[in-house]
Structure 1
Amino acid sequence: MLARSGVVRSRGRAGTFVLPQALSEVTAPPASAIFTNSTANSPIGATWMTTHSSTADSAVPSQAQRTDNPTAGVRETSSRSRSRADGIPAAAHIPVIDLSRGTPDNTLLPTIRPYLARLGNRRAFVNSYTGPTILPMLEEELRADWPYDPQAMTMVSGAGDGLALAIAAFVRHGDVVVVESPTYPFILDVLRERGAIAVGVPVDEEGMDPQCLLDVLERFGTPGGASHDSRRRVSMMILQPRAQNPTGISYTPQRLSAIARVLRIWEQEAAGRDIPLVVEDDSAGMVADVFAVSLGSLIPDRVVHIRSFSKSHGPDLRLAALSGPRDAVDAIVERRRLGAGWVSRFLQELLCEMLADRQAYATITSARHTYALRRKTMAVLLERFGLETIPGSGFNMWLPVRDPAAARRILAQEHIRVADGDRFLPEFRVSGSGDGRHAGRDDTERIIGGAMLDDGGMADGAGKGEALSKSLAGAVIAQDCAMRVTVSQPDAVSERVAQSLARAATA
């Protein structure tokens, strides 16, 4: 049990050894900095309070920004600065429990050494500039476990690479892109650098609110094609169908059906123009303890589905599979040819060997169960201390916070680091009520330049969405004053950590 949890490892005759845990020996951080929103590639020595958003000198956020670095932002301070931090006494060499990084537990990843020994046995397409962008044998393995039957597939260098390529290929400056609220900051960073406008739609335990989605589509944009009536082109929707980051929610088949109906209604009202391209980011992949789902089973000609293997097989493989209609996949492949060209077929062969291997499958299955147990254990502990949580999957949990300043002080005293919820919220978003109806215009129409409507302007749209509201699970997930905590590491789950989080959230 200790070995499975990543606490110890047996080394045969050499004995059993306690593994180093994901703790950084650091001094107490300032109270204002215990909520981190740092870029994943921040070097050691960076400030405690950094930013998830992309830097000005980067046209598109790098893959390092998507893959969290558990040591980023950790620093040793001088003895003088250690004495007090924002009025809080600091003890030297207090381990910080870092719950801000969505990285896998390295002890749960399959070892690649046995597969490296086999590498190169299949020499097809190796050292070729003209070979396929996905090995046929790998595509066969992937299709056997894909949530729908796509027209075409290719490989990209991680889910973030696939997202960036799809956005570059299909989103123009000034376009509206519908995203979840909250959502992963990397998505917002790429859209911002592209000059697009991300409009957030709230989610509940079953996925994106379909009524709010209909409101956004009818208020702020026109489908792909020429804009009209001073409204902007809605060129894309970006969803995370399972183990959503940061909430951990997964879409139900019923919710996907409701979203597909909304898109079809909008397409019909727009005189047959295409609905926006739907890009699905399955970043958890095989470590999510729920089945894969996709809108591709309902509207396959408008869906690009991306599955990452970073959390299941290892971040350094830099591999994700991408599927979609042939014209969309071809456009993404052509965009990639402007840079790296293709994903190394040696790496593809390595992944293919691992996917077909029983031992690797058993290791990943064990990891999936361990992550699920850690998340469920933390949920039980938090509820024991009076904090209700959202049922979900994957590494992350989204916890509402009553007073962010008080939460910072408490977590600083307890040497616990979490991710600030503000970084997961689109700048423009609609609000939702418990029954799924649109609860407010925000100032989005004025800022985006959409057509201003009077009080009755949405009557028809709201009526069409009335039936869709009945499928909502309940209250929309809180969009303000929250924190994301990651419970993938063994040191993240304990009564002390749960009690501190609950106390901080309710202070």
Structure 2
Amino acid sequence: MTTKIDPNWLAGMLTNPTIRGIAMDIAALIREERIAIGSQLPSVRELAEVLGVSPATISAAWSQLRRQKVIAGRGRTGMWVCGQHVSPRPERFEKIGNFGNTILADMTLSAPDPALLPDLSAALCHGLLAPNLNSYQRTAIIPELEQTVRRHWPYPAEAFITSDGGFDGMYLALQALLFPGSSVAVESPTAARVLDMLDHLGMNAIMVECDEHGPEPEALKQALLQKPTAFIFQPRTHSHTGNAISPERLAELAALLAVHDNVLILEDDGVGELSTHPAISLGRYYPDRTVHIRSYSKAYGPDLRLAVISGSKTCMGQIQSFRHFGAGWSSRILQGALAYLLTDAQTQQSIAHAQEVYHQRRQALADALARRGIYVPENDGLCIWLPVPSERYALVTLAARGIAVQPGERAGVKSGQFIRLSICQLPDHLVEPVAEAVSQIFR
């Protein structure tokens, strides 16, 4: 039986009747088990009357706790305690990959194959020659790396900085450039961690449907009517679908954004150098309000942990200033190492070989599916994005056969049912078993 917390008792336990104070006090009571999991908190109006504060104050406190996944429900009828972990966490991302020890093929994460990553030994030695090594001078980007990336950047950006990976760069940009509570247009599907970031920052995601050429113009047009403060999309190879935006589609999107000159453009080039498509960016049209984030982790190594971000001097200055709350800069050793890798002929041959191997693995699975009557369009990328009759049935069916995949719902998909199968580390001998298991979904 659900226990409803008495509003008078709860008010007596709260020491600070502000939004933050109420949220912190209730979180402490839950952590100390003085409020049990499953308990129903008083309604907004009940607690507001006893505390002598506005209902808006209680609603805002509930919102903070809800974002931390501690409580759930609706404020008018009361909230229920659903957990004791009061630290925020990426819920969608943490759900990926919890399939136990019986999995034959884990195809949930598009993590690079270690055997296809370049040797970092010489690059790291080169990184030790970076200027100002061991200085506490906050170096946004070392000159050598900036000069190197400028040669192949998709537009002549005004300023560059680095971050500790692509998702770190996106999180920094969202925190530094947007207000909490903002509405943000986001392509669908998108990375689960991007949606987790928006949830944590209290931002409203407006999903923009995509086709094989990228975000649909009409879908973006409708999203822009809701006055978002930013638009997030992947301009090169999409991490889920493998599709890439054509120059014609980019021009269409640019035309729509022309009359919405207050919308910040956040571009996530997560596949980076493993893409076989040339880099492309709306920065060609709007350099002052485009933030282009390119990750180098998938091509050069997750432990290299670097991304490069471009934008206006104002935007890059804001992000760099925000970084001063934490580390302040990315390792100059790693920046120097990346600069070396980007110009080293042997490394670039290694990247080209990795592109070819990933393409062969994707094509092998696509061909095996085709032999079973399941069509997969030929494109780029590290995954196969497959429409299915039911995501839930697909997950259960594949898990029963030892195969773990990612459901489309975690990527923000609202229309249709999909699964994502990563081919990054799929060995040859599992191609046929995986294809046969997938075919069972459609019977």
Match of 1:101 in 2: 109
Write the distance in 2 (CA, Å) between the matches of 1:491 and 1:376: 13
- Alignment of structure 1 residues 46-125 onto 2, 5 Å: 57-59=86-88, 61=90, 73=98, 75-76=100-101, 96-122=104-130, 124-125=131-132
Aligned AA (2:234): Q
Q: Does 1:249 align with 2:243?
A: yes
**Which of residues 424, 439, 443 is equivalent to 1:502?**
439
Match of 1:447 in 2: none
Match of 2:182 in 1: 175
- Tell me how far 1:74 sits from its aligned partner: 5.4
Contact 1:97–1:416 under 8 Å retained in 2: yes
Which 5+ residue runs of structure 2 have no aligned equivalent? 1-83
Match of 2:53 in 1: none
Q: Does 1:184 align with 2:209?
A: no
Write the distance in 1 (CA, Å) between the matches of 2:188 and 2:282: 19
- What secondary structure is seen at the aligned counterpart in 2 of 1:279? strand
Q: Does 1:319 align with 2:306?
A: yes
Write the distance in 2 (CA, Å) between the matches of 1:65 and 1:183: 12
Please say which of residues 483-492 and 298-307 is displaced more in the overlay.
483-492
Structure-1-length-normalised TM-score:
0.67
- Tell me how far 1:178 sits from its aligned partner: 0.3
Cα 1:405–1:192 change in 2 (3 A) is: closer
Match of 1:212 in 2: 219
- Kindly report the root-mean-square deviation, in angstroms, between the aligned alpha carbons of the 2 structures: 2.3
Cα 1:58–1:165 change in 2 (3 A) is: farther
Match of 2:15 in 1: none
Match of 1:135 in 2: 142
- Tell me how far 1:371 sits from its aligned partner: 0.9
- Tell me how far 1:61 sits from its aligned partner: 4.6
Q: Does 1:149 align with 2:156?
A: yes
- What secondary structure is seen at the aligned counterpart in 2 of 1:483? strand
- What secondary structure is seen at the aligned counterpart in 2 of 1:165? helix
Contact 1:205–1:391 under 8 Å retained in 2: no
Identity of aligned residues (%): 35
Match of 1:441 in 2: none
Write the distance in 2 (CA, Å) between the matches of 1:246 and 1:286: 16
- What secondary structure is seen at the aligned counterpart in 1 of 2:294? strand
- Alignment of structure 1 residues 351-390 onto 2, 5 Å: 351-390=338-377
Q: Does 1:487 align with 2:423?
A: yes
Write the distance in 2 (CA, Å) between the matches of 1:213 and 1:135: 37
Contact 1:289–1:372 under 8 Å retained in 2: no
Contact 2:395–2:405 under 8 Å retained in 1: no
Q: Does 1:198 align with 2:223?
A: no
- Tell me how far 1:59 sits from its aligned partner: 4.2
Write the distance in 1 (CA, Å) between the matches of 2:328 and 2:171: 15
Write the distance in 2 (CA, Å) between the matches of 1:56 and 1:149: 45
Per-residue CA deviation, residues 103-138 of structure 1 (Å, 9 max, x unaligned), is 00000001112333344234x222223353101011
**Which of residues 275, 288, 294 is equivalent to 1:301?**
288
Match of 1:29 in 2: none
Please say which of residues 136-145 and 238-247 is displaced more in the overlay.
238-247
Cα 1:215–1:121 change in 2 (3 A) is: closer
Contact 1:242–1:393 under 8 Å retained in 2: no
Write the distance in 2 (CA, Å) between the matches of 1:405 and 1:239: 27
Write the distance in 1 (CA, Å) between the matches of 2:89 and 2:263: 22
Contact 1:170–1:235 under 8 Å retained in 2: no
Write the distance in 2 (CA, Å) between the matches of 1:381 and 1:187: 32
Contact 2:366–2:376 under 8 Å retained in 1: yes
Write the distance in 2 (CA, Å) between the matches of 1:157 and 1:408: 33
Contact 2:124–2:336 under 8 Å retained in 1: no
Cα 1:117–1:217 change in 2 (3 A) is: closer
Write the distance in 1 (CA, Å) between the matches of 2:160 and 2:88: 27
- What secondary structure is seen at the aligned counterpart in 1 of 2:229? strand
Aligned AA (2:433): R
- What secondary structure is seen at the aligned counterpart in 1 of 2:176? helix
Cα 1:132–1:408 change in 2 (3 A) is: closer
Write the distance in 2 (CA, Å) between the matches of 1:353 and 1:74: 39
Structure with greater contact order relative to length (CA < 8 Å, sep ≥ 6): 1
Match of 2:326 in 1: 339
Which 5+ residue runs of structure 1 have no aligned equivalent? 1-54, 77-93, 222-233, 268-273, 430-478
Write the distance in 2 (CA, Å) between the matches of 1:128 and 1:408: 50
Aligned AA (1:249): N
Contact 2:185–2:207 under 8 Å retained in 1: yes
Contact 2:181–2:202 under 8 Å retained in 1: yes
Contact 1:172–1:195 under 8 Å retained in 2: no
Structure-2-length-normalised TM-score:
0.76
Contact 2:103–2:404 under 8 Å retained in 1: no
Q: Does 1:237 align with 2:174?
A: no
- Tell me how far 1:277 sits from its aligned partner: 0.7
Cα 1:404–1:239 change in 2 (3 A) is: closer
Aligned AA (1:259): L
- What secondary structure is seen at the aligned counterpart in 2 of 1:490? coil
Please say which of residues 251-260 and 485-494 is displaced more in the overlay.
485-494
Match of 1:230 in 2: none
Write the distance in 2 (CA, Å) between the matches of 1:237 and 1:151: 20
- Tell me how far 1:329 sits from its aligned partner: 0.8
- Tell me how far 1:174 sits from its aligned partner: 2.1
Write the distance in 2 (CA, Å) between the matches of 1:152 and 1:74: 43
Match of 1:161 in 2: 168
- Tell me how far 1:58 sits from its aligned partner: 4.2
Please say which of residues 152-161 and 479-488 is displaced more in the overlay.
479-488
Cα 1:390–1:174 change in 2 (3 A) is: farther
Contact 1:205–1:390 under 8 Å retained in 2: no
Aligned AA (1:177): V
